[in-house]
Every structure is written in structure tokens, then in C-alpha cells.
């Protein structure tokens, strides 16, 4: 067989069919790979979100199809003192809990970044509040805050005799609010601490050694080296913490159910109460939709903070 006959015999076998050409085409391959993920998002995210937004403009109730009412639900909520109080407390709850989690989480991360005995064991123990199911944590705190069986009241009153009356953690508005914030801080510290610890371990020790040779104090090393280099991961952790705290539901509902006298309702718990036990699905959906602008603002903060070069490496945008 000469060379020409050999080429003529090989060519039909190596010629690609339409399926091979389609898979070699990059746009078709991208669409093929993304289709399952887009399908899952459409079924489990886009449809429920779209349905909730549509219901917020109707007077839908449990077991009763609603009719389009436009902005009536939102207009009513602007005059509802319980809703306005829930908005205020949600913002306050998010801000206070986030500040507490980041202050204690950063301190704990700096401590764990040192050479300590049993460091790995300590890190594992610190994760326990985070990996414990939220409902179990809420039940534990509900027992701690109980007016009759509180372990705190028992120690202070019956053991140490520092007081004559038990604490009423959940009976009045402000003690109940601070009790919820304390429980949220306890649960959120491990997430912040471990995340910031991962960021601290990416910082080269040579930078601290050079700063110490130049006579920099501990505060100067933290301000000039640690803080700037932690900013990228700090922006991400802060955003997730704000999102998780703002949309918190299980902890608050399991401990107080929004009481006393609706003083500890978050927007999420109030939306559930109005929509499911209250049977006003349209109104509950409107409260849930009202949370979206706040969550979008937190997400945009993270996007622009990470994209801004002056947050990274202590540099600038120039």
C-alpha cells in the first residue's frame, strides 16, 4: 500500500462526527456543564424567590388563593408598629452581635495564632458552638435563661448569695434582647475566629521580625501589618456574618418566639409568625421581601470591598 492509499484509508476513521465537533465547541460545552446547576437553582431558588415576591403583592392566605393588591401590604407594614420595631431590632441585633463576634473572634484568633500547648485540641473545642445544631443551642440557652431553673440564677442566688431574687432574663424587653445577642455571639465566635486564624497564618513571620527589628510596638505591628493583610478575608467573613445574623430565625424563635410583647421579633421571625401561624401568607411574604434590600447592601459591600485594592496588602488604588 502506497502513501496515498494509506492516507485515503486513515482519513475516514479520524474524521470527527457532529457530536465530537459540538463538544469541542467551547460555548456548547459551557452550556452543557452549567445546565444541571442552572436547573437546580431554577427549581430550588429562583422559583421560591419569585413566588414569594409575587405573593407579597397579593392578599394570599392559607388555603385561600389571593388576588393582586399591589403595594397595599407594604403600605400597611409602614404603619405597623410591630413591623417597624422588628426592623429596628433586626438592625440593632445584627450590629451588636457582629461587633461582639468580631471583637472576641479576632482576640481569640490572635491568641490561637501563638505557640500554645494542645493548640489543635483547643481549636477543635472552639468549633463546638458552631457545629452544634442551632435548635440544641437555643434549648440550652432557654434553660440557662429560665426564670425558675436557670443555672446562672442558682449559682448567684443559692450558692454565692449575691442576690435574693432570680434573674428574669426573658421577662422584660431589654434583658431579653441582650440575652439573644449573647447567645448569637456565643454561636458565631468560632466561625469568625477560625476564619481570621486562617488569614493570620498566611502572613509571613518575616514581616513581624522586620518590624520588631525596626522597633515597632505590638500595636504598631497589628495596625501596620496584621490589619491591612487581614482586610480581604475580613470583608468576606464580615459579609457572611452580617447575612447569617440578619436572617437569623431558629435561635430567636426557639428562645423567645418574638416575646415579650413582640419586643424581640426579627424580620424573619415576624414574617413566619404572620405567614404561617397567622395564615396571612401575603403579609408574611411582604415582610420577607423587605429583607432583600438589606441583604443586597451587605453583598455589595463585600463585592466592592474585595475589589478595592486599598483593602488588600495595605496598598492603594492609585
Instruction: List, run by run, the mean pLDDT of 10-residue segments along the chain (318 residues).
Output: 54 61 76 84 83 91 86 93 95 94 91 81 83 88 88 88 88 93 93 90 87 86 86 85 90 91 93 91 93 86 62 48
Q: pLDDT at position 33, please?
A: 83
Q: Rounded to whole angstroms, what are the CA distances from 62 to 126, 174, 189, 282?
A: 43, 34, 39, 9
- Domain residue spans of the chain: 17-45, 73-311
- The set of residues, in sequence order, having a beta carbon less than 8 Å from that of 250 and lying 6+ positions away, is 134, 135, 138
Q: Name the H helices within 256-308.
A: 267-275, 281-290, 292-307
Q: pLDDT at position 314, please?
A: 47
Angstrom distance (rounded) from CA 33 to CA 49: 24
Q: pLDDT at position 311, please?
A: 47
CATH class of 73-311: mainly alpha
pTM of this prediction? 0.83
Amino acid at each position: 500500500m502506497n502513501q496515498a492509499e494509506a492516507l485515503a484509508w486513515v482519513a475516514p476513521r479520524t474524521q470527527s462526527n457532529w457530536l465530537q465537533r459540538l463538544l469541542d465547541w467551547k460555548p456548547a460545552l459551557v452550556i452543557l456543564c452549567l445546565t444541571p446547576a442552572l436547573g437546580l437553582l431554577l427549581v430550588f431558588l429562583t422559583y421560591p424567590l419569585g413566588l414569594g415576591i409575587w405573593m407579597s403583592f397579593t392578599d394570599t392566605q392559607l388555603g385561600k388563593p389571593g388576588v393582586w393588591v399591589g403595594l397595599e401590604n407594604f403600605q400597611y407594614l409602614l404603619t405597623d408598629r410591630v413591623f417597624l420595631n422588628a426592623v429596628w431590632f433586626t438592625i440593632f441585633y445584627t450590629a451588636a452581635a457582629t461587633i461582639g463576634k468580631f471583637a472576641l473572634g479576632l482576640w481569640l484568633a490572635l491568641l490561637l495564632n501563638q505557640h500554645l500547648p494542645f493548640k489543635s485540641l483547643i481549636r477543635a473545642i472552639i468549633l463546638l458552638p458552631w457545629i452544634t445544631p442551632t435548635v440544641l443551642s437555643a434549648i440550652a440557652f432557654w434553660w440557662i435563661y429560665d426564670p425558675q431553673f436557670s443555672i446562672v440564677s442558682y449559682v448567684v442566688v443559692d450558692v454565692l448569695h449575691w442576690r435574693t431574687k432570680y434573674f428574669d432574663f426573658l421577662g422584660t424587653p431589654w434583658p431579653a434582647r441582650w440575652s439573644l445577642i449573647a447567645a448569637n455571639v456565643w454561636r458565631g465566635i468560632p466561625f469568625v475566629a477560625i476564619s481570621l486564624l486562617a488569614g493570620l497564618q498566611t502572613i509571613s513571620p518575616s514581616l513581624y521580625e522586620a518590624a520588631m527589628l525596626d522597633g515597632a510596638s505590638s500595636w504598631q505591628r497589628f495596625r501596620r501589618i496584621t490589619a491591612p493583610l487581614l482586610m480581604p478575608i475580613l470583608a468576606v467573613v464580615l459579609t457572611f456574618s452580617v447575612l447569617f445574623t440578619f436572617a437569623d430565625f431558629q435561635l430567636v424563635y426557639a428562645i423567645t418566639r418574638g416575646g415579650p410583647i413582640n419586643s424581640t421579633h426579627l424580620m424573619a421571625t415576624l414574617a413566619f409568625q404572620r405567614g404561617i401561624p397567622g395564615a396571612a401568607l401575603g403579609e408574611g411574604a411582604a415582610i420577607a421581601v423587605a429583607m432583600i434590600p438589606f441583604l443586597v447592601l451587605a453583598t455589595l459591600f463585600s463585592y466592592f470591598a474585595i475589589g478595592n485594592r486599598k483593602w488588600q496588602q495595605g496598598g492603594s488604588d492609585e
